[in-house]
Amino acid sequence: MQQTTKLFLRALTCSIPHLGKCMQRQSYYNFAGHYYNRIRLEKYHLQNKPKISELARNIPSRSFSCKDLLPIKPENEKSLSENMDAFEKVRTKLETQPQEEYEIINAEIKHGGFVYYQEGCCLVRSKDEEADSDNYEVLFNLEELKLDQPFIDSIRVAPDEKYVAAKIRTEDSETSTCIVVKLSDQPAMEASFPNVSSFEWVKDEEDEDVLFYTFQRNLRCHDVYRATFGENRRNERFYTEKDPSYFVFLYLTKDSRFLTLNIMNKTTSEVWLIDGLSPWDPPVLIQKRIHGVLYYVEHRDDELYILTNVGEPTEFKLMRTAADAPAIMNWDLFFTMKRNTKVIDMDMFKDHCVLFLKHSNLLYVNVIGLADDSVRSLKLPPWACGFIMDTNSDPKNCPFQLCSPIRPPKYYTYKFAEGKLFEETGHEDPITKTSRVLRIEAKSKDGKLVPMTIFHKMDSEDLQKKPLLVHVYGAYGMDLKMNFRPERRVLVDDGWILAYCHVRGGGELGLQWHADGRLTKKLNGLADLEACIKTLHSQGFSQPSLTTLSAFSAGGVLVGALCNSKPELLRAVTLEAPFLDVLNTMMDTTLPLTLEELEEWGNPSSDEKHKNYIKRYCPCQNIKPQHYPSVHITAYENDERVPLKGIVNYTEKLKEAIAEHTKEAGEGYQPPNIILDIQPGGNHVIEDSHKKITAQMKFLYEELGLDSTNAFEDLKKYLKF
């Protein structure tokens, strides 16, 4: 099969530019990232991919007909050198460990008998059986693009393997360039397209390869193009979305039968089918956008499988209909989820559909037999906190990885013939015997139970005297990120307690969990966070003088609000690219993402109720002379999602308030440290930056008066400085 990326993972990659103050990327379908790269685990080649996100915006719907989709004359475009910005920090390599090997490497894809991937600064391919050797063919040298540390984000191979397309990014911008290389005895770059988000190949009736791609401008993705190469070379605009609150994303169904044109915001979606055998024919509308209805489409045996929130309850459920009768009145309910269930991903096979789920903060895999509608639910190991999905063309097996913040990924395979889940054999990570994972709940002030995930050393004594690092996000219906991070592993090994608070506004318990923490319910997330920290302390996990709090992007809203309302709960805070000036940002419609953010934060420009509500929690609006925890902020100079101006404004106001309080407190008062570390570049969050990791850890240890010698020695086992 020419490509196996799943809709429910790929969409977030596209959506990241549209998730505003979110992480990634990641973002959308939390169909998820975002800029995830692969993790090579011993001999396995696995691609860490984004997951299925819950879309979270809305704007009045707009109807259109197929004539809207007719080719449009391309606008004049700037040259490649003028347009080529790019992306995120190239992933750091992890040191080889005695028990297992881990290496963060780049995107790869298998097609025919070859594997396509990045080796050094080159796009290369090798025979599948030689993928781990040095015997490969160089297809293109990325240095020809004259970019700083270019990085291959994703790869697509044309159906008959005449061409390969690769999306290239760099460390200091989120935009990317798509190159097309003609495969021959002497491979050469055939074309390049700037600012590409998603892209897919199909073959037309005359066996000509057609590349569809979306064009991104100012973090907005509204245009779809299609291009051919060789003697019939052309490049034409195929579709333009006119509603600025929506974005477009392309996905090729796993069987390559249809290319889907997905038009969506955070609360509403619309999908058109492009025939994978006749891509020049007009697309077919599945269902016109309906406010509040989300749906995503896969195909198998002339049937569409639709993951949607239509109907009650308004959580995701699986429906199906005949491909030639796609309208919503023909959708038949096929499978429903339990209450408090989050759909992480979906994968389609010849005779099975596999759902990756989170139910009550635990991971499950549901295997649905499509021939007899049987369902097998597999509860996964309690240490697991996240999935890493694998690109997979083997119809007999469903491979995936499980991970946690302190445990590197472990490989699992569900074999359909045996009806069993097989665990990778080999050395067991020692962290399983030296650490403990707990799942507890905190009662928020309205009685809602808020889940938490806690990690600490098994042999720790008197946990009340141990340092605590709390993580929170709580926005856009996105799960709190719990992928493996070596610095988190080091902290636990050094005696720290880690606590992940899954507050409302996030997506851990489904779509309603998000709805209960957005717009005029945003304060629920703040109440949840306060309840979580108080519950941790009351149950013997650390104390306020040893408690630290960490967040990035939109998570900064809740952290900044808590620092204003309950600063006595914390000793220190680390923030990365934090969203802190909600009111002024949402009133500035010149910013690229303001219109797309209205459904998450509200519209303070036109709605006085929204404006007054935002004023109640906006971190920048509620700073006052009082004692604050110490704060370390990492910001990026050209960040388009969270403008530096708002972060600088927050920092200056905070320092002024602290200075005023210091005068009032009198002699002997020790004011907190406020550090603003502005990094160059235009990326939003650089997860693997050694400089950032070491600066944040150094700050936390110094603020708590702890010796960091052992921690940094252990960190060197993972990171190459």
Q: What tens digit of pLDDT does each residue of 412-452 get?
A: 999 999 999 999 887 778 887 889 999 999 999 999 999 99
Calpha distance 293→310 (Å, rounded): 6
**Residue 685, domain extent:** 433-719
Give the pLDDT band (50/70/90) at residue 534: very high
- Please calculate the CA angle 322-325-329 and round it to the nearest 5 degrees: 105
**277 near 205, Cβ under 8 Å?**
yes
Classified as helix, coil or strand, 573 is strand
* Token pair listed for 214: 């979306």
Region for residue 120 given its phi and psi (left: phi exceeds 0; alpha: psi -120 to 50; beta: otherwise) = left
Look up residue 122 and give its two tokens: 């080159």
Section 298-302 average pLDDT: 94
Residue 519 DSSP symbol: G
470 is a domain residue: yes
- What residues contact residue 29 under an 8 Å CB cut-off, 6+ apart? 7, 8, 9, 10, 11, 12, 15, 50, 52, 53, 55, 296
Which residues make beta-bridge pairs with 203?
Answer: 209
| Pick from 269-278, 399-408, 605-614, 712-721: least confident | 712-721
Domain containing 617 — which CATH number?
3.40.50.1820
Phi, psi of 110 (to 5 degrees): -100, 135
Reading the block at residue 287, the tokens are 């269902």
Residue 542 a catalytic site member? no
Instruction: Classify residue 258: in a domain, yes or no.
Output: no
Q: Are 601 and 641 in contact (CB under 8 A)?
A: no
List 281's β-bridge partners, or say none: none
- What residues have CB less than 8 Å from 390, skipping those under 6 apart? 46, 47, 399, 400, 401
Distance CA(235)–CA(641), nearest Å, equals 30
Pairing state of beta strands 420-423 and 410-415?
antiparallel
Number of domains in the chain: 1
Q: Active site includes 684?
A: yes
**Contact residues for 508 (Cβ-Cβ < 8 A; gap 6+):** 342, 358, 361, 451, 479, 480, 502
- The answer to whether residue 135 is domain-embedded is no
Q: Is position 104 within any domain?
A: no
Number of helices and strands in the chain (H, E): 13, 39
Contact (CB, 8 A) for 475 and 557 = yes
Note whether residue 95 is domain-resident.
Answer: no
Place of tokens 């109720």: 609
Global pTM? 0.83
Mean pLDDT, rounded, of the chain: 82
291 is catalytic: no
Cβ-proximal residues to 33 (8 Å cutoff; 6+ apart), any chain: 12, 13, 16, 23, 24, 25, 26, 27, 49, 50, 51
The contacts of residue 466 (CB under 8 Å, 6+ apart) are: 456, 460, 495, 496, 497, 541, 542, 546
C-alpha 364/C-alpha 379 separation (Å) is 5
Residue 103 has pLDDT above 60, yes or no: no
Burial 498-511 (b: 16+ CB within 10 A, else e): bbbbbbbbbbbbbb
| DSSP letter assigned to residue 509 | T
Residue 24 in any domain: the answer is no
pLDDT tens digits, one per residue of 604-652: 999 999 999 999 999 999 999 999 999 999 998 888 788 888 999 999 9
**Of 36-45, 400-409, 640-649, which gets the smallest average pLDDT?**
36-45
Q: What is the strand order of the sheet 332-336 is part of?
A: 295-300, 303-308, 317-322, 332-336
Residue 293 lies in a domain: no
Strand partners, 270: 263
Q: Which one from 85, 352, 684, 688 is the annotated catalytic residue?
A: 684
Pick the catalytic residue from 27, 53, 176, 553: 553
51 within a domain of the structure (yes/no): no
Catalytic hit among 345, 429, 479, 639: 639
Both tokens assigned to 309 = 């929130």
Asked whether the predicted pLDDT for residue 375 surpasses 60, the reply is yes
Tell me how far apart the terminal alpha carbons of the chain are, to the nearest angstrom: 40
Among 31-40, 116-125, 129-138, 544-553, which is the least confidently predicted range? 31-40
Class of residue 205 by CB neighbours under 10 A (exposed 0-12, middle 13-18, buried 19+): exposed
CA 517/CA 589 separation, integer angstroms:
23
pLDDT in tens, 124-146: 998 876 656 678 899 999 989 88
**Is 165 within 8 Å of 152 (Cβ atoms)?**
no
